Amino acid sequence: MNKTEAARMSRMATLLSLHSTGADPIPPDVMPPTERGSDTEGWMYNTYTREVYRAWSTAYNHGLGTFANQARSTTSQNSISLYSTRTLALQAMRRELEFEFATKLHAIDLAIADAKAGD
């Protein structure tokens, strides 16, 4: 495959990824513990870095990695809900980013329509 064909294939793959997976956010399915001394583990994501991490939560704080390694991780206050699988966390992140970019594209579409009306 030459460079032109590779570029076309890459563009087609990008266009295929533009399909909508739905408008509703995917909520986390692992609820945080309510009792002191218990913990949950799962996955969380960061839309800014576009990364998915293993994470844990207790009734009063949470952090990255596994609960067994919590002494070596940075913790944050408050409990959080997590995703049970990496796949589900990735799907939730995709859905959130998809909606964010759809909103931005809609604003551009409105500006284009406005510009056409003024031309």
pLDDT in tens, 90-99: 999 999 998 8
- State residue 109 phi and psi, 5-degree precision: -60, -40
Running DSSP on this structure, what letter comes out for residue 85? S
pLDDT value at residue 70: 63
- Specify the 3-state DSSP secondary structure of 38: coil
pTM of the model: 0.77
Whether 64 is covered by a domain: the verdict is yes
Asked if 95 and 21 count as a contact pair (C-beta separation under 8 A), the reply is yes
Q: What is the largest CA-CA distance in the chain?
A: 66
Q: Residue 58 pLDDT more than 60? A: yes
Running DSSP on this structure, what letter comes out for residue 70? G
Whether 11 is covered by a domain: the verdict is no
Whether 6 is covered by a domain: the verdict is no
DSSP strand E in the chain: where?
39-46, 51-58, 61-64, 75-77
Whether 41 is covered by a domain: the verdict is yes
Whether 15 is covered by a domain: the verdict is no
Percent of the chain with pLDDT over 90: 46
Whether 3 is covered by a domain: the verdict is no
Look at the chain and report how many structural domains it folds into.
1
Domain assignment of residue 54, given as a range: 28-118
Whether 74 is covered by a domain: the verdict is yes
